[in-house]
Structure 1
């Protein structure tokens, strides 16, 4: 198993955020996390990438416990994190942002940047433009491209479609599928539950910091509880 989250508990001060969360991501999978605001989705991703430390439980990558490994070292082990809000380096160019994604090993930086430009031709057109001057959709492309520069085996994506126009959203989801087909496993937190479940192999539903439901993407799309809570009852399954 590529990633295993085993009974982790995370708190912010005295306030519990995650309580006994368990989930797995296998090689080649897209797995999505659903849940209302405050359910613990972002906290889960931040715990996996080493930005938060669980009070209890453990997170394993290829069976190796990650609790004592710094976040910057996890990048070198194959964990890429695209945070909510994109967080590009506003005062750096597109090209410089991409190079920051390859900070731990720049031997293949030129080759990897060309791959990013192939996935996102718009970034190639703006290679010398400052990240802070890009549109929201372009910044999301840049955030994903920056994570790809580290050659991840597992990519954590936090709300990649937030605030984007429908046409750009479709581009982002098409690229997620393409990245996955190239061999990168994906753990996806996404407000657009329909789109997320349509591309996901499996999914988990978080409620109040706990896993309330799990199943295949298809099964969760058809589940009445999921449809009523997140999708709307008139959403077509296919």
Structure 2
């Protein structure tokens, strides 16, 4: 695939305003292995941006670098135009970044309510309004608030991981494979809730193997291949692109004949 850039993206419409999140010429290494090879990505306030790619493409590394879990060797991470790479991940939460990691990673021996309170650690005490919001979005969590998190179903744990991140009042929510391992009905519920979260004012950067779901939700999308950004553009255009449909939706693309 060759790099394709749209001239009608939301970033153009916003003019000179700095993106909420910008990754500039990002190079990230694991030892001698270069995982990200100079990628560029931006997310505007209010957007949903999808990041697609096969296993090992560098999607999780991108999110982990954006949230301060990994330090880039070269390039920068900017929030509202200010460099924040080098700031520890627990401090970046105070800058308005929430991260829902791959695999949920709830505190298995703590209750649902205790997990949610942990998400609000940057405050002196959890805001009851945030807890009410989470229970409105995820009524199942309200029903299970006293239940030990490790005994929840996979879908319930995913809801808890998202709810825990929301308790930190994020301006930008990074989500890593929120549909992984979930039944189709639960996946639909999760994506409906993500849409509602965005409509409530939270910007989303979404890593997701379910390309169709992700691009239906997103405003724009990027495609990573072995650490390099190879495509970007409006979500609708990516969803209609035969290369995307062949690579990520399992559709057979007939060779074109003149």
TM-score by length of 2: 0.89
Cα deviations by residue, 1:38-92 (Å, 9 ceiling, x for unpaired): 0000000000000000000001001110122111111011000000000000010
Rg: which structure is higher?
Answer: 2
Q: CA deviation at 1:109?
A: 2.4
Alignment match, 1:163: 181
Q: 4+ runs of 1 displaced by more than 3 Å?
A: none
Cα deviations by residue, 1:75-129 (Å, 9 ceiling, x for unpaired): 0110000000000000100000000000001445222111100000000000000
Which structure 2 segments of 5+ residues have no match?
1-18, 254-258
TM-score by length of 1: 0.97
Number of residue equivalences: 235
Matches within 5 A, 1:61-76: 61-76=79-94
Which structure 1 segments of 5+ residues have no match?
none
How many angstroms apart in 2 are the aligned matches of 1:117 and 1:138? 12
Alignment match, 1:83: 101
Q: CA deviation at 1:233?
A: 2.2
Q: Does 1:2 align with 2:20?
A: yes
How many angstroms apart in 2 are the aligned matches of 1:175 and 1:225? 29
How many angstroms apart in 2 are the aligned matches of 1:105 and 1:117? 19
2:214 counterpart (172, 184, 196): 196
2:54 counterpart (29, 36, 39): 36
Q: CA deviation at 1:133?
A: 0.4
CA RMSD, Structure 1 to Structure 2 (Å): 1.1
Decide whether the 8 Å contact of 2:246 with 2:252 is kept in 1: no
